[in-house]
Each structure stands twice: as structure tokens, then as C-alpha cells.
Structure 1
Amino acid sequence: MTGVAYAAGGGAAGGAGGIASFIPLILIFGVFYFMLIRPQQRQAKLQQQFLNELKNGAKVVTKGGIHGTITGLTDSVVTLEIADNVRIKVSRSSIGSPLTKDGAPAPIQKAGG
């Protein structure tokens, strides 16, 4: 009767089989972490660093697509000049990226890399 118990997975080797069945799940989580979660965290860190380094006179584009020059900064509000004597106030977190010399949004990258 003990032969049937071993065949059903209830024997001494049954514990190792349970752990081995989780290996594919662990591998899938590892792939998701290194391919999706970690790069997204890195990008969020770079975006936060960019927002902390904003200064007057910088040309930026908002996440809504408004291009302007920063004329005023507070902890949570940025004043943008979008045309001559036309200023708007936007949330600091709504600033998307800096503008290049030709007016195109520049990707946010690490300083020095």
C-alpha cells in the first residue's frame, strides 16, 4: 500500500516537487521585475530629479503639450510664459520634459550619460 502513496506524491519526494513547481512562477516574476518594473522605477526617479532641478528661464513642455518658458517657481506651482505677456500656472508635476534648441521635447536622461 505504500507504493500507491509514493505514486500519488505523498512520499518523501513530495516536498521537493512542490518547490520545483514554483520555479517557473519565480522565473516569470523575475522577468517582469527586470523588464518592466525596474526600468519604470528608474524613469520615475529621473523624472522626479528633473522636476527638482527646474529653474527660471528653462524652456519646457507640459504633459498636455503646452510649450513655454518658466518665469516663476514654487514648491508645487510653475508659472509658464507661453506667449508675450501670457502666463499660466501649472502644477509642477505636469511638466513633462525640457525643450531642445529646435523646440522639440527632449527625452529625460541621466546627467553624464
Structure 2
Amino acid sequence: MEALLLPILLIAVFYFLLIRPQQRQRRQMMTMQQTLAVGSKVMTGGGLLGTVVALDDDEVEIEVSPGVTNRYVRRAIVNVLDSPESADPLTEESLDEPLSESEDTLSKPDERASQDPANGSESR
């Protein structure tokens, strides 16, 4: 009886550490792909970023730059970066506001970056 306890325990640990989290991740991915909406900013498995402009049962049309669209299967979408509900579009008021002092100035370059790393002398 004790000889069966170790294999059963190993199978249980394997299930809870590997299989269960993978099932949860797959379920979250499917939910995300099914709840895509027009206007969502997404990333494909190949790293292409764009905005969803049209949805079909199995396909998504993504605008990658103004006027350029590509069609992908829903499974190719691996991440929703910004959903249309959470997007905060710029208004004319926010465009007219002046930049703050910290946003208006550039930071000074680090003086160590201008030195040659081999001998510590200036590289200019």
C-alpha cells in the first residue's frame, strides 16, 4: 500500500503544478480572443501591433498603420493591449494644455557615456 502512495502523490503534484495552470491560461486566452471588440489595440503572436477594425467568427482585421489592414485568425491574437472602453482619447482641451516643466526639458546626458570604456578617456 505504501508503494502506491509515492506514485499517486507524484501524479497529484504534477497535475497541480503543470496541467492545471496550463488549463487556466488556455481558458483565459480563449476568453480574451472571444471578447475582442472593434477599437481594441492588440498584439499578434508575431509581435505585430494594431487596432481591431473588423471582426468575423474566426478572423480579425487589424489596422497596422493608417489605411493598411491585415486579416488574422483569432488564435493569432495573444494580447489585448488596450480595450476601447479603457482608451482615453485626447480631447482638444488636453492638446491645448502646455507641457509641464519636467516634460518640456530634456534630461542631460550622462557624462560617463561620453568616455571611452577601454581607457576612461573622452571618446570625442
TM-score (norm 2): 0.64
Letter in 1 for 2:15: Y
Identity of aligned residues (%): 37
Which whole-Å CA distance do the structure 2 matches of 1:66 and 1:91 have between them? 13
Structure 1 segments unaligned to the other structure (5+ residues): 1-18, 102-113
Distance of aligned partners of 1:55 and 1:100 in 2 relative to their CA distance in 1, 3 Å threshold: closer
Distance of aligned partners of 1:57 and 1:43 in 2 relative to their CA distance in 1, 3 Å threshold: same
Which whole-Å CA distance do the structure 1 matches of 2:58 and 2:35 have between them? 13
Which whole-Å CA distance do the structure 1 matches of 2:20 and 2:53 have between them? 35
Q: CA deviation digits over 1:32-66, x for unaligned, max 9?
A: 11111001101111111111100100000001100
| Equivalence for 1:33 | 15
Structure 2 segments unaligned to the other structure (5+ residues): 84-124
Counterpart pick for 1:65 among 47, 50, 58: 47
2:40 maps to 1:79? no
Q: Secondary structure of the residue that 1:29 maps to in structure 2?
A: helix
Q: CA RMSD in A?
A: 1.3
Contact 2:59 2:71 in 1 (8 A): yes
Q: Which has the larger radius of gyration?
A: 1
Measure how far apart 1:20 and its partner are.
Answer: 2.1
Letter in 2 for 1:56: V
Q: Provide runs of 4+ in structure 1 moved above 6 Å.
A: none
Letter in 1 for 2:76: S
TM-score (norm 1): 0.70
Measure how far apart 1:21 and its partner are.
Answer: 1.1
Letter in 1 for 2:24: R
Measure how far apart 1:100 and its partner are.
Answer: 4.9
Give the number of aligned pairs. 83
